Chains A and B, each alone.
Chain A
Amino acid sequence: MTEKKAPQTGITNFISNLFKKNITLNLIIGGILLLSFIFIGIFAPYITPHDADEMYYEHLKEMPSAEFLLGTDRYGRDILSRVILGTRTTLFVATASTLLALILGIIVGTTSSFFGGWVDIILMRINDIFISFPTLIFAMLVIGVLGPSMTNGIIAIGVIYAPRVTRVVRAQALNIVHLEYIDAAKVGGESSLYIIFREMLPNLWPTIIVEGSIRLGYAILLTASLGYIGLGPPPPTPDWGLMAYSERGYMFETPWPVFAPCIAIVIAVIGVNLFGEGLKDILLAKGSRTKEAKT
C-alpha cells in the first residue's frame, strides 16, 4: 500500500479532527465553489442585477462599468445577469445527465457482475462498443436527430457516459460479489434484486460517488461544448456555451461577452474536480471498507 496521505495544514487539520475524517484543502475549496454554484443556480432570478433578457439599446457592447459589472453584449443585455442565469441551464443539464449515467451504469454494472457468465459477457461486449463511440460525436448525433433541447441534451450525455460508469461499477462490484455475506444472502433465499440493491450497493457507494464527481466535471465541459456548437438550448436562453459562441464575432469591440461565461465554466469545472479529489481522499482512503474488499 503506497497510499499517499494528503498534505495537512493547520485549518484542514482542525476540521479533519472535528469530523474525524481526512478532510483536505481540495475538498473545502471545491465544496465552497460547488455550494456557491448551487446557491447561484437556485436563486438566480433573485440575485441578477438586471433582467437577463432586457435589452438596453443605449448600452450596446459596453466594457465593464459600475452599472454593468461585466459589460453588455451586442443587444445591450447585461452579461453578469446572463452568466448568473446561465448557471441554471448548464449545471442542470450536467447534473441531470450525470445522474442518468450513474443510474444506468449502476443497474447494468451490478447486474452484469452479479449474474456473471454469459450475461456479463454480452453486456460487457455491448458496453465496450459504446465506449468506442467518441462522446461528442454520439451526443451530436442524438441531439441532431432529436432536436436541440435541454431534455435531449440530458439523454444524449447520460447515455454516452453510462457505459463508462458501468465499467467502473462492475470492476468494483466484482470484488464484492464473491464475499461471504453475499453467499449467505443467496443461501438465505433472498431475491437477486434484494441482494443487488440492499447488500451490494451500500458497499459500492464510495466508488459511485467518486466516479459521479469525475463524470460531472466532464459533463459540464461537454454541455458547454454542445452549447457552443449550437446544439444546446435555443438562442434566447442564457447558456454559457451559446453566449460564448454567439458573441464571438464582436470580440473586436469587447471580449467580455465571450470570456465571462468561459470563466464561469472553468471555475465550475475546477470546483467539481477539486471536490472530487477531496471526496476520493475521504471515501477511497486506506482502511475504508471498499478498499479492504479489494485486497
Chain B
Amino acid sequence: MKDFIPFIIKRLGITAVTLMVISMVIFGVCQLMPGDAVDIMLGGIALQSLGDTTIEELRKELGLNLPVYQQYFNWVKGLIHGDLGTSYVMKAPIAPLVISRLKTSLLLAVPASLMMIVCGLALGILSAVKEKTWIDHSISIASLAMLSVPAFLTGSLFIYIFSVKLNWIPAAFNAIDMEGIGFFKLISSYFGILIFPSLTLAFESIAYVNRQTRASMIEELKTNYVRTAVLKGVPPKAVIMRHALRNGLLPAVTVIAFMIGQIIAGTVIIEVVFSYPGIGALMLDAIKFRDIPLILATMVVISSAYVFANLAADILYTQLNPRIKYS
C-alpha cells in the first residue's frame, strides 16, 4: 500500500502529459485547415465586400494575428477557466452548448455502460460455467457476430424493426424536446425509447467484456482452490459467485473501464444513426462547417473522457490485484 501514492502521482503525471500532447495535436492539426477563420466566419462573398481593414480588425479581435504558440496558450488558459471560446458559425459561447450536448450523450452512455457490465459479465460467467455446451457455443458465435457488425448496421436494424415496422420509437431522435427537462425526468419519460440507441452503443463492448470474463472465469474454475471448494461440498453457486468470480473479475474490470472510453468515443456513429443531438453529432457538425473552436472543444472533451477511462482502468487493475507490483 505504501507504494500506492507514488504510483498514483506518476500515473496522474503521465495522464496530464498525455492530455497536453493530445490537445497540442488537435490544435496543431486544426491549424493546417485550409482557409482562414475569418474566411469561414464570413463566407467567401462577404469577404469581398468587406475592406481589408475590417478583416484585420476581426482577426485581431479573434487573436489570430498572434503567433501559433501564443494562440495555443490562450486557448489552454481559456480551457482551464472553463471558457471554450466562441463558435464561428453559431456565434455563441461554446461551453453551455457542449455541456448540454454532453448531458444528452451521457443519457446514452450511462445506460450503455450499465448494460455492458450486466450483460457482459452475466454472459461471460454463463458461458464459462457451461463451457463447451451449446449455450457456450451460441454465446461465442453471437459475440463474434457482434464484433463483426458495424454499429450503424445494428442501429439501422433497430430503426427498421422498431420504428418503420412497429412504430415504437421515432426514426429521428432530434424531434424529442430534451431542453429544460431534468436529467431524471428525461430518463423516466423516455426510457423505453432511449434503450435502443443505448443498446446499440453497448453492443460491441458487451462482446468484449463477455469474452474476457469467459476466458478468465474458465481459468479460475480450473484452479486448485475451486476444486477444493467443490470437493468439500460448497454449493456450486457459491463456488462460482464467491470463490471464482472474485478473482475472475479482475481482468474483466480493466476491460470494462477501458470499454467505457470506447463507448464515449463510439457515440458519434450512434448519434448519426439515430439523429440524436449529442456531443458526437455536435463534433461532426463542427467538422462539416469547419468551425475550429467547436472542433477543438468537442474533441478535447471526448478525448479527455477516453483518457480518464483508461486511467481508471490502469488504477483499478493495480488496486484490485495485489500481485501486480506498481511500476
A122 within 8 A of B: no
* Chain A residues numbered 111-142 whose CB sits less than 8 Å from any CB in chain B: 128-129, 132-137, 140-142
Asked if residues B265 and A134 are in contact (CB atoms below 8 Å), the reply is yes
Asked if residues B284 and A229 are in contact (CB atoms below 8 Å), the reply is yes
Q: In the complex, A262 Cα to B145 Cα: how many Å?
A: 13
Asked if residues B287 and A225 are in contact (CB atoms below 8 Å), the reply is no
- 27 interchain pairs (CB within 8 A)? A128-B14, A128-B18, A129-B17, A129-B22, A132-B18, A133-B25, A134-B265, A136-B266, A136-B268, A137-B299, A140-B283, A141-B29, A141-B287, A145-B33, A146-B32, A147-B34, A224-B150, A225-B150, A229-B268, A230-B284, A248-B273, A255-B160, A259-B153, A265-B150, A266-B145, A266-B149, A266-B153
Q: In the complex, A225 Cα to B153 Cα: how many Å?
A: 10
Q: Other than A244-B152, A269-B148, give 4 A-B pairs with Cβ distance below 8 A.
A: A132-B306, A141-B299, A145-B32, A262-B156
Considering the complex, give the chain A residue whose CB is closest to the CB of B266: A136
A109 within 8 A of B: no
Asked if residues B148 and A229 are in contact (CB atoms below 8 Å), the reply is no
Asked if residues A228 and B284 are in contact (CB atoms below 8 Å), the reply is no
Q: What's the dominant secondary structure at chain B's contact region?
A: helix
Contact partners of B284 in chain A: CB under 8 A: 140, 229-230
Contact partners of A248 in chain B: CB under 8 A: 156, 159, 273
Q: In the complex, A187 Cα to B159 Cα: how many Å?
A: 66
Contact partners of A262 in chain B: CB under 8 A: 150, 152-153, 156
Q: In the complex, A229 Cα to B287 Cα: how many Å?
A: 11
Considering the complex, give the chain B residue whose CB is closest to the CB of A223: B150
Asked if residues A145 and B29 are in contact (CB atoms below 8 Å), the reply is yes
Q: In the complex, A229 Cα to B273 Cα: how many Å?
A: 9
**Which range contains the number of A residues in contact with the other chain?**
35 or more
Measured between C-beta atoms, what is the minimum distance from A164 to chain B in Å? 14
**Which range contains the number of B residues in contact with the other chain?**
35 or more
Q: In the complex, A134 Cα to B288 Cα: how many Å?
A: 19
Measured between C-beta atoms, what is the minimum distance from B11 to chain A in Å? 12
Considering the complex, give the chain B residue whose CB is closest to the CB of A277: B144
* Chain B residues numbered 1-25 whose CB sits less than 8 Å from any CB in chain A: 14, 17-18, 21-22, 25
Interface string of B291-302 (1 = CB under 8 A from A): 000010001001
Contact partners of B17 in chain A: CB under 8 A: 129
A273 within 8 A of B: yes
A251 within 8 A of B: yes
Asked if residues A251 and B306 are in contact (CB atoms below 8 Å), the reply is no
Interface string of A127-167 (1 = CB under 8 A from B): 01100111111001110111100000000000000000000
